[in-house]
Amino acid sequence: MLPIPAIDIQSGKCVRLQKGDLSSTKIYFEKPVDAATHWIKEGTKKLHLVDLDGAKSGKPKNLKYVLEIKEKFPEVTLQLGGGVRDLETLNIIFGAGIDNVILGSIAIKNRELFTKACITFPEKIILGIDAINGFLAAEAWTEASKLSASDLISTYKELPIKSIIYTDISKDGMLSGPNLEETSEVAKLSPFPVIASGGVKDIKDLINLSKIPNVIGAICGVSLYENKINFKEALEMF
């Protein structure tokens, strides 16, 4: 199982939030490329990038910073989420060399478009499942739905999806430990590999996640930036 450093971008800076609350911003790097440089020097071959402004507005706002990272480190796998709502934007992003795009809001709100995106870009789309109290949320987690993770997985199980990122919103940025029960349930239901997100606070959490069948990775944010996890040690363990 692979620990994956997260770089959330807001107003051109690398930040962390609590539960996706845009007012809870804490800046860790003035430049996202500096954050990427740090984690790549620590040994990562993969980065999880989120355009927070894009997620809120519905259009990419920080793409130039993502492309700067890709230009400097072309060998590193980048998965990007936030603000991607149409095929034209996907064409631009993939054309620029970004490896995978996370789609969550359109998976909930526009099944036809999500399906077309997955067929047009097979094995390039990651299904983002962001849940709170068992129900999915969209539009930077500001809109609640009546759908569950199982609903979404059942709907898209035949598509050529790369993987699923499952996030428990209530855990995100809180260093409270991941939702092992829900993550296990999603991993059991999913025909696609699952990446866990939200709440990881220490190596023990990573070990517990690694024991869940079909979980191939864990996104780490605050736990890395606040030095709760030694990233080099984590890479060696997994």
* Residue carrying structure tokens 């996907």: 90
Residue 108: half-sphere exposure toward Cβ, Cα within 13 Å: 22
Catalytic residue among 8, 51, 168, 205: 8
What tokens appear for 97 in the block? 């060399």
Active-site annotation holds for 130: yes
Report the distance separating Cα 238 and Cα 226, nearest Å: 21
**103: which DSSP letter?**
E
Which residues 6+ apart lie within 8 Å of 77 measured at CB? 45, 46, 47, 99, 100
Phi-psi sector, 190: left (phi>0), alpha (psi -120 to 50), beta: beta
b (16+ CB within 10 A) / e for 84-113: bbeeebbeebbeeebbbbbbbbbbbeeeee
Catalytic residue among 130, 168, 172, 205: 130
Contact 67, 24 (CB under 8 A): no
Nearest to 220 by CA among 204, 194, 201, 233: 201
Active-site annotation holds for 202: no
Report the distance separating Cα 176 and Cα 228, nearest Å: 12
Pairing of strands 77-81, 13-18: unpaired
- Report, as residue numbers or ranges, the catalytic residues: 8, 130
